[in-house]
């Protein structure tokens, strides 16, 4: 039996995850952006911040809270906080 990194990923993760896909050249892309040129230029590991995804996740969480509050007739006030994994970049903090 031959073990490979691809086999490990396929057994461990549900792939491709939302936003990721393997393009026609068998390279990974994220939200339509081919990652190969970025990896060649900046190397790996590489962290990608995608502001629309942050906004979508915030809205998803707010909707889940609203549904739970309605279901359980919760009427008290609350403060919504979004963890940005300690990001110090202003554009991420402003989006959150």
Res. 61: pLDDT tops 60: yes
- Tokens representing 24 are 């026609």
> How is the chain split into domains, by residue range?
5-42, 51-95
Q: Is 33 helix (H, G, I), strand (E, B) or coil?
A: strand
Residue 12 has pLDDT above 90, yes or no: no
State pLDDT tens for residues 66-82: 999 999 999 998 887 76
What is the pTM for the complete model shown?
A: 0.52
Q: How many CB atoms lie within 10 A of CB 80?
A: 9
Structure confidence at residue 92 as a pLDDT band (50, 70, 90): low
Residues in the chain: 96
């Amino acid at each position: 039996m031959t073990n490979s990194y691809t086999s490990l990923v396929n057994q461990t993760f549900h792939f491709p995850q939302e936003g990721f896909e393997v393009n026609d050249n068998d390279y990974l892309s994220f939200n339509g952006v081919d990652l190969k040129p970025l990896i060649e230029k900046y190397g790996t590991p590489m962290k990608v911040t995608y502001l629309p995804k942050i906004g979508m996740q915030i809205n998803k969480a707010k909707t889940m809270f609203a549904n739970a509050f309605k279901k359980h007739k919760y009427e008290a006030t609350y403060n919504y906080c979004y963890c940005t994994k300690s990001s110090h970049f202003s554009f991420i903090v402003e989006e959150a």
